[in-house]
A = this chain, B = another copy of it.
Amino acid sequence: MINVGIVGGTGYTGVELLRILAVHPEATVRCITSRSEAGMPVADMYPNLRGHFDLAFSEPDAAALAECDLVFFATPHGVAARMVPELMAAGVRVVDLSADFRIRDLDIWAKWYGMRHESPEWAAKAVYGLPEVAREQIREAQLVANPGCYPTAVQLGFLPLLEQGLVDVKRLIADAKSGASGAGRQGSVGMLHGEIGESFKAYGASGHRHLPEIRQGLASAAGSDVGVTFVPHLIPMVRGIEATLYAELNNPADFDRLQARYEARYRDEPFVDVMPFGSHPETRSVRGANHCRMAIHRQEHSHVVIVSSVIDNLVKGAAGQAVQNMNIMFGLRETSGLDAPALLP
């Protein structure tokens, strides 16, 4: 049984970790910290957990965390960078769900996150935890940087095209849409139901923090710099991301084998589902589940490959992928705790 700690458990990724770990057969949550809510039982904040956890939020305590086998960070950026070195020294393994260890170029990180990185040493050692790309490194990693939600949906959709050099890497477009839970659980006028309900908009269209992460991941897959335009949008719903991806085939004849190539690329992946050519994945088909479903489209007389990719932003886009990473790190069945189908309808 793996002893798990969670730092910063009051947000949506925190409660989602608890929801998943509640039924994980091989992991137990030993402590969950929150400076602001210390003392409050988690089930008082999240009544879906009533009967599942007796645990209360506690003050962050390095000693208690050091006794865990694995610590998840579900904190605002900057916190993990500050706290991780001490845990590393204590031999604890960490999956960081924040953005602190995702970007390798710390100047870029500093620019987008508005602060100097406090742990450049571990930033260099961290493994970017997209299992479909880096499973072997994750297995050995002490520190895993769990990918962002949009970057997960976008990278998984583009990977086969880029790895196989099929498209013009300078002309990638990712039009992505997310439910409101992606913005977290901080009180703000802009995320009120009264502001978001029955409305739709783009946001961050001139530049969003997930852009450098996407660019880095796609460049790595392509083996060269890429030109990618990424525009996120806000959907009036709670969970789910859909990314519609556009790329130009270098050789239009490649269309014929595209579906087969996608299927081959992901044949052994337990959480990537390449649907039949021309399907339209719905976000609800992955609600609460760790799957990414995708499908390919082509319009007549066109060289443009269209890929529609969906995930649950809180699961494959956050807590589920974190547990998947934990499973890999500890040699467990990769789908352990992540077996249940999505909640549809």
Contact = CB atoms under 8 A, between A and B. Distances in A.
Interface of A: 12, 15, 18-19, 22-23, 46-52, 171, 173, 175, 177, 179-181, 183-203, 205-207, 211, 227, 229-231, 233, 235-240, 242, 244, 246, 248, 273, 275, 278, 280-289, 291, 293, 297-302, 304, 306, 308, 310, 314, 339-345
A106 B242 CA distance: 35
Contact of A306 (B184, B231, B248): B231
B185 A187 contact: no
29 contacts: A19-B340, A47-B285, A50-B273, A50-B293, A51-B291, A175-B175, A175-B246, A185-B189, A185-B194, A187-B189, A191-B193, A193-B193, A193-B236, A197-B198, A198-B238, A199-B282, A200-B240, A205-B299, A205-B308, A206-B297, A207-B299, A227-B302, A229-B246, A229-B306, A231-B244, A233-B242, A236-B237, A246-B246, A288-B288
Contact of A341 (B19, B287, B345): B19
Nearest to A303: B227
Nearest to A236: B237
Contact of A197 (B238, B242, B298, B308): B238
Contacts of A314: 345
Contacts of A278: 205-206
Contact of A177 (B22, B177, B238, B287): B177
Given A50-B273, A177-B200, A180-B193, 4 more contacts: A23-B339, A50-B293, A197-B237, A199-B283
Instruction: Pick from A211, A237, A293 the residue with the most CB of B within 10 Å.
Output: A237
A306 B211 CA distance: 15
Contacts of A283: 199-201
Count the copies.
4
A197 B238 CA distance: 6
A251 to B, nearest CB: 17
A232 to B, nearest CB: 10
Nearest to A190: B187
A238 B193 contact: yes
A339 B337 CA distance: 12
Instruction: Pick from A181, A188, A342, A344 the residue with the most CB of B within 10 Å.
Output: A344
A298 B23 contact: no
Contacts of A197: 179-180, 193, 197-198, 236-238, 345
Contact of A345 (B18, B195, B304): B195
Contact of A205 (B284, B288, B306): B306
Contacts of A15: 344-345
A179 B197 CA distance: 10
Contacts of A205: 244, 278, 280, 297, 299, 306, 308
Given A188-B187, A298-B206, A299-B207, A280 B201 contact: yes
A195 B194 CA distance: 12
Contacts of A18: 341
A345 B273 contact: no
Contact of A287 (B183, B196, B280, B343): B343
Contacts of A308: 201-202, 205, 231
A175 B231 CA distance: 10
Given A192-B187, A285-B47, A302-B227, A345 B239 contact: yes
